[in-house]
Amino acid sequence: MKEYFAHETAVIDDGCEIGTDTKIWHFSHVMPNCKIGNNCNIGQNVMVSSEVVLGNNVKVQNNVSIYTGVVCEDDVFLGPSMVFTNVINPRSAIKRKDQYLKTIIKKGASIGANATIVCGNNIGEYAFVGAGAVVLKEVLPFALVLGNPSKQIGWISEYGHRLNFDEKGESSCPESKDKYVLNNNKVTKK
């Protein structure tokens, strides 16, 4: 007996592993050999390509295509209509399936609506990619990036609040009260 929910219009191909309490909504397609964790939410009109890995508690909003080569760790948020790529130089007449680049979205990271992640550029733990950003290089853990091409404009807490570091390189999240330290362009939680 399956322990996940799939809307009657969703297509789930053979060979997928789908975790307990995951929900897959209208007109979505999960292709063979995917691994989707527990308590995930796959919105409407989402395509999950072969061999994609989604950890636990991953939220995928409507109209997202997750291509082969993408790995999302636990607690990742993928905003509406955001885009992944998997080949640097696609051409219709040239087959490049052996050139897919891996892209890892680390634990707790969020990617905003209509953002584009160019393949091979990993997103660090708890990073936040703003709506419409185009990521052309790796994003550091806890970094806040915006724009096209994306630029880092600050740091963000696990709870999604801007971190303002004092002269000692210390900050705290206004919601969780967790303490953070900035040292050598690297943020760590105390």
Tokens coding 36:
């989707």
8 vs 181: CA distance, rounded Å? 48
Q: In what order do the strands lie in the sheet with 47-48?
A: 11-12, 29-30, 47-48, 65-66, 83-84, 116-117, 134-135
Domain spans of the chain, in order of start? 1-53
pLDDT tens, residue by residue, 55-84: 999 999 999 999 999 999 999 999 999 999
Q: What angle do CA 136, 142, 148 make, to 5 degrees?
A: 30
pLDDT tens, residue by residue, 80-117: 999 999 999 999 999 998 999 999 999 999 999 999 99
pTM: 0.96
